[in-house]
A and B are shown apart, each in its own frame.
Chain A
Amino acid sequence: MKGSLIILAFFSAGVLGGVFNIFPDWILNEDLTSYTLYALMFLVGISIGSDKGTFYILKKMKLKVLLVPGVVITGSLAGTALISVFIPSIRPNEAMAVGAGFGYYSLSSIIISELHSQELGVIALLSNILREITTLLAVPLMIKYFGKLAGIASGGATAMDTTLPVIVKFTGKEFGIISVFSGIILTAIVPILVTLLLELF
């Protein structure tokens, strides 16, 4: 819980600073975020690579690892379709297109804005940012009630990069590989699935 509160504090400080525009422009330089993330990925890689359990789990896993992205796809689409009955202005396939972002907010919102409407694009942006933030904040709680795959399932596509460190932190490094695997599959699937959901229905 302490970990989540610290994360929330950093995020809130950023939002407040952003709203009141107190930060210099260079801080939002895309490069700063990119390079921080790159450094983070390398460090998390070292962390996972130096762990003795990591390669053991890969040998044990095989095909059933595919179940993990399968859970995210099935769960996200079914969940958003079902809950869309409470939002009369949104059709089930529009809801599923938002859900099919799997936390990959930048790409899914751009595609939805282009193919469908600005408003649904913004909804996708907010919803998938929220998915990422919720994962970052609530991973310990989710794991407590839904088991050790919960963080990976919640993180969706972000489980390979932005939410990977928290997932690894609270589940152990042996789940890091599964997390990255699931995230990679989902990231690759986002543009295809979002497009199909909007075009086919």
Chain B
Amino acid sequence: MSSYTVIILFIAGITAGRLFRNNEKAGKKIDTLVTWSVWLLLFLLGISVGINEKIIREFSVIGLKAVILTVGALAGSLFLAKPVYNRFFRNISESVNKEENNK
């Protein structure tokens, strides 16, 4: 799958989205479509895991190692994300909320 196609479509979407800036109805419909697309993609990911005999057969041993490494990667990322968010990004999140409330 081409990462470039995905990026180009995303940017095209953002550009197109500028046209809907004051149309909340359209915004809600798009959010519904997004939700259904996520469900479909998750369903398809499930199928490709399910039919992969190698993954299913060797799941116990290889899977345990994979789980341990995933825990390490996620724990490292999350514990680092917290202080960085609090120090550098919390004020941005709050100022966006404030601006929206003032409207």
Do the two chains belong together in a single complex? yes
A residues sitting closer than 8 Å to B (CB atoms) are 6-7, 10-21, 23, 27-28, 30, 32-34, 36-54, 56-57, 60-61, 64, 67-68, 71-72, 74-84, 86-87, 89-90, 95, 98-99, 106, 119, 122-134, 136, 142, 145-150, 152-154, 156, 160-162, 165-166, 169, 172, 174-175, 178, 180, 184, 187
Say yes or no: A40-B38 contact (C-beta < 8 A), given A18-B48, A57-B96.
yes
**Selected contact of B70 from candidates A42, A130, A174, CB within 8 Å:** A130
Query: Which partner residue on chain A sits nearest B50 by CB separation?
Result: A18
A17→B69 contact, CB < 8 A: no
Interface centre among B11, B48, B67, B74 (most CB of A within 10 A): B74
Give the size of the chain B interface in residues (CB under 8 angstroms): 79
**How many residue pairs between the two chains, A and B, have CB atoms under 8 Å in the bound complex?**
309
A50→B85 contact, CB < 8 A: no
Main secondary structure on A side of the interface with B: helix
Q: How far is the CA of A175 from the CA of B74 in the complex (A)?
A: 19
B33→A43 contact, CB < 8 A: yes
Which residues of chain A are within 8 angstroms of B78 by Cβ–Cβ distance? 75, 142, 145-146, 150, 153-154
Q: How far is the CB of A125 from chain B (nearest CB, A)?
A: 7
B34→A136 contact, CB < 8 A: no
**Selected contact of A45 from candidates B12, B27, B67, B88, CB within 8 Å:** B12
A41→B10 contact, CB < 8 A: yes
